[in-house]
């Protein structure tokens, strides 16, 4: 067996090839340093997981380090709550603690300010009194060049004075900005005198009221990388056209060659039936479409954790899809198949009936209770067995009975014999409906000779159903989930919220479980026989969230694609 490290060394993709080449040409004296730079303005999602696996993975594979750096340059939307959730989620995804302490772009505000002063002194930045709308209008577009601001000719002395006044709070919000002085006719729009600082009279969750000017993302990002000595600055494709600007800043600031970060771009992760934009995820929370960032229907790390996704499954998925340079969308079923593979190995089996109806065995000896032996995990012998009570008073799934069975329905119906999992063969002899015609009880007889799950005369049954013994059952709730968005591409809607599936959650409040359910810990995932994988919630009452079903829908999709 190869060790993890050997396995990882074999990984190849265009970024790893580049890192290898840089290491052998000693570009940064062979050093490799990456970073994961989230903005603390929301919870992390699956897309972030890809970036986390990439950045931390590369650092580990090449003997380098990866810092968690909060890109906290926007005082309005950021908070400590998000900082804490992000750190927790990263460590969960990685399956270990982050070895370096978290860093914050806000710790570099003073250095960024000094560098902005340096640009002004070099005649490469100016204070512009135009309002945001005018600035945006005069930037031009892909076919039209931009127009110089009337304030572009200000002298460095005047700009230095004005920039200091901006910092000192002498101007109202929106009255002026600091811009880089590059070229308003540049073919790359990002080079048309981008804004570096805005006035914002807002308190920041870390620097509090120290600043009333805040750097823009474009100004803060590359400079933060340079301050930290990041060697490989990995980001998503939409920043490709910003690279020229970031390199221009670094050049102007005369950062020594071996200290310059080099940016490479990779494709964002997208899934069918899923939105991964923080803006939309925030709206789902704020509009109470879901019950919070950790609602099990959310593609957030905290939502998936609550739903019972093992972090190994997410890591394995990220390994499997690798890194590419073109954006594409992955089927959500592929991720689910990784989850299923992982849980099939690790999850204990239990019996639960989530929509129960009584099944009475009329020829069962009155008052008799016996124990049946059930296998905890057929994939893992060491998980052992358990004893489950069995009697003549059982509960089975309402949908496992049909008064008039449809073709291909092989489960219980009048006159039909089926196997009770770990129990006996039973034959339906009758049923009782209430005055509304709703089924309340199914009557059966059992064959005592079928205790081993087989009939001595060799007769076969077409279905095995699960059950719970009524008197010893535990009660609780089970939530099952469908896709939060109905169509494969919710992003294709003008408003993806028009595509929301109104029936994405169903809660069964009268679910019943075999007694050993009480051994299942909060956060643990079990397989409910025939139903799927379910994760026990942290709440005091018994509540389970459906993690994923048993059927491999990914296999079906592959078959469908092959036959196309």
Residues that bind ligand ATP (CB under 6 A): 37-39, 47-48, 50-51, 71, 235-236, 268-269, 276-278
Q: What six digits make up the tokens of 435?
A: 């005055």
Provide the minimum distance between the beta carbon of 192 and ligand ATP in the complex, in angstroms, as a whole number: 22
Catalytic (active-site) positions: 39, 268, 278
**H or E stretch including 119?**
helix 109-121
The least CB distance from residue 247 to ligand ATP, in Å, is 18
Least distance from C-beta 10 to ligand ATP, angstroms? 23
Q: Which is nearer to ligand ATP, 125 or 235 (CB)?
A: 235
β-bridge partners, 360? 393, 443
CB atoms within 10 A of CB 359: 27
Q: Are 465 and 412 in contact (CB under 8 A)?
A: yes
Q: How far is the CB of 295 from ligand ATP (least distance, A)?
A: 17
Give whichever of 262 and 533 is closer to ligand ATP, judged by the CB atom.
Answer: 262
The nearer residue to ligand ATP, 171 or 217, going by C-beta atoms, is 217
Judged by beta carbon, residue 235 or residue 290, the one nearer ligand ATP is 235
- Residue number with CB closer to ligand ATP (74 or 527): 74
Least distance from ligand ATP to the Cβ atom of residue 70, Å: 9
Q: CA nearest 384: which of 392, 394, 393, 374?
A: 374
Q: Give me the phi and psi of 511, to 5 degrees please.
A: -70, 150
Q: In whole angstroms, how far apart are CA 309 and each of 170, 171, 306, 342?
A: 52, 51, 8, 9
Residue for token digits 């009570």?
389
Q: State which residue, 52 or 351, has the beta carbon closest to ligand ATP.
A: 52
DSSP string covering 426-463: EEEEEEEE-TTS-EEEEEEEEEGGGTTSS-TT----S-
- Round to whole Å and give the CA distance between 429 and 415: 6
Closest CA to 14 of 276, 329, 324, 311: 324
CB of 47 to ligand ATP, least distance (A): 2
Euclidean distance between CA atoms 104 and 433, whole angstroms: 66
Specify burial of residue 275 (Cβ count, 10 A radius: 0-12, 13-18, 19+): buried
3-state secondary structure of 236: strand
Q: Which C-beta is closer to ligand ATP: that of 36 or that of 390?
A: 36
Find the shortest distance in angstroms from Cβ 303 to ligand ATP: 14
Give the Cα separation of 506 and 483 in Å (integer): 12
Cβ distance to ligand ATP smaller for residue 75 or 356:
75
Helices 311-321 and 332-346, axial angle in degrees (round to 10)? 130
- Pick the closer one to ligand ATP by CB: 37 or 64: 37
In whole angstroms, the minimum distance from the beta carbon of 186 to ligand ATP comes to: 24
In the bound complex, what is the minimum distance in angstroms from residue 74's beta carbon to ligand ATP? 10
Measure the CA–CA gap between 113 and 117, rounded to whole angstroms: 6
How many whole angstroms separate alpha carbon 562 and alpha carbon 334? Answer: 15
Q: Minimum distance between the CB of residue 238 and ligand ATP, rounded to whole angstroms? A: 8
Token reading at 380: 């893992």
Shortest distance (Å) from residue 265 CB to ligand ATP:
9
Q: Identify the sign of the CA torsion 510, 514, 520, 523.
A: negative
Q: Residue 48 and residue 293: Cα distance in Å, rounded?
A: 15
Alpha-carbon distances, residue 562 vs 67, 337, 556, 557 (angstroms)? 43, 18, 10, 9
CA dihedral 33, 37, 43, 48 (to 10 degrees): -60
Q: Cα(514)–Cα(518) distance, rounded to whole angstroms?
A: 9
Site of tokens 């000017």: 213
| Distance (Å, whole) CA 142 – CA 134 | 17
DSSP code for 123: T
Nearer Cβ to ligand ATP (70/533):
70
Neighbours of 481 (CB within 10 A): 19
Instruction: Please identify the residue of the shown chain whose CB is closest to the bound ligand ATP.
Output: 47
- Decide whether 329 or 558 has the Cβ nearer to ligand ATP: 329
Query: φ, ψ for residue 425 (rounded to 5)?
Result: -80, 135
- Residue in 340, 284, 241, 342 with CA at minimum distance from that of residue 501: 284
């Amino acid at each position: 067996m190869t060790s993890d490290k050997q396995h990882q060394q074999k990984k190849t993709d265009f970024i790893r090839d580049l890192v290898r080449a840089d290491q052998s040409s000693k570009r940064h004296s062979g050093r490799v340093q990456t970073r994961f730079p989230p903005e603390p303005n929301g919870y992390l999602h699956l897309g972030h997981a890809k970036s986390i696996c990439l950045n931390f993975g590369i650092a580990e594979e090449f003997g380098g380090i990866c810092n968690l750096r909060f890109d906290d340059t926007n005082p309005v939307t950021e908070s400590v709550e998000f900082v804490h959730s992000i750190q927790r989620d990263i460590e969960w995804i990685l399956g270990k603690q982050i070895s370096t302490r978290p860093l914050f772009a806000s710790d570099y505000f003073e250095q960024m300010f000094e560098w902005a002063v340096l640009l002004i002194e070099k005649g490469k930045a100016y204070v512009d009194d135009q309002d945001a709308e005018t600035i945006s209008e005069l930037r031009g577009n892909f076919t039209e060049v931009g127009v110089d601001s009337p304030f572009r000719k200000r002298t460095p002395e005047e700009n230095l004075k004005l920039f200091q006044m901006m910092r000192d709070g002498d101007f109202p919000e929106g009255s002026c900005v600091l811009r880089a002085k590059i070229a308003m006719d540049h073919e790359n729009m990002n080079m048309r005198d981008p804004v570096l600082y805005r006035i914002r009279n807002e308190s920041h969750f870390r620097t509090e009221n120290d600043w009333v000017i805040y750097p823009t993302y474009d100004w803060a990002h590359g400079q933060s990388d340079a301050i930290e000595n990041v060697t490989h600055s990995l980001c998503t494709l939409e920043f490709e056209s910003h690279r020229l600007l970031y390199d221009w800043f670094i050049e102007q600031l005369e950062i020594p060659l071996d200290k310059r970060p080099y940016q490479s771009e990779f494709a964002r992760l997208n899934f069918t039936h899923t939105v991964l934009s923080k803006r939309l995820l925030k709206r789902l929370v704020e509009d109470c479409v879901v019950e919070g960032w950790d609602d099990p229907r959310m593609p957030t790390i905290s939502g998936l954790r609550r739903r019972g996704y093992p972090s190994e499954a997410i890591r394995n998925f990220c390994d499997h899809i690798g890194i590419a340079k073109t954006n594409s969308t992955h089927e959500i079923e592929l991720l689910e198949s990784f989850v299923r593979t992982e849980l099939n190995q690790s999850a204990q089996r239990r019996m639960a009936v989530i929509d129960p109806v009584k099944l009475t065995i009329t020829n069962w000896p009155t008052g008799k209770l016996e124990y049946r032996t059930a296998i905890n995990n057929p994939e893992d012998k060491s998980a052992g067995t358990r004893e489950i009570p069995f009697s003549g008073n059982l509960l089975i799934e309402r949908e496992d009975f049909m008064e008039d069975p449809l073709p291909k329905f092989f489960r219980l119906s009048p006159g039909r014999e089926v196997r009770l999992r770990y129990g006996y063969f039973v034959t339906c002899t009758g049923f009782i409906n209430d005055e509304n015609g709703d089924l309340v009880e199914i009557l059966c007889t059992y064959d005592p000779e079928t205790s081993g799950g087989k009939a001595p005369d060799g007769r076969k049954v077409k279905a095995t159903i699960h059950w719970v013994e009524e008197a010893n059952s535990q009660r609780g709730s089970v939530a099952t989930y469908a896709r939060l968005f109905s169509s494969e591409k919710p992003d294709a809607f003008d408003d993806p919220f028009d595509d929301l599936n109104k029936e994405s959650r169903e809660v069964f409040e009268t679910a019943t479980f075999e007694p050993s359910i009480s051994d299942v810990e909060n956060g643990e995932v079990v397989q409910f026989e025939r139903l799927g994988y379910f994760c026990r919630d942290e709440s005091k009452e018994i509540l389970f969230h459906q993690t994923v079903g048993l059927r491999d829908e990914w296999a079906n999709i592959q078959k469908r694609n092959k036959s196309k």
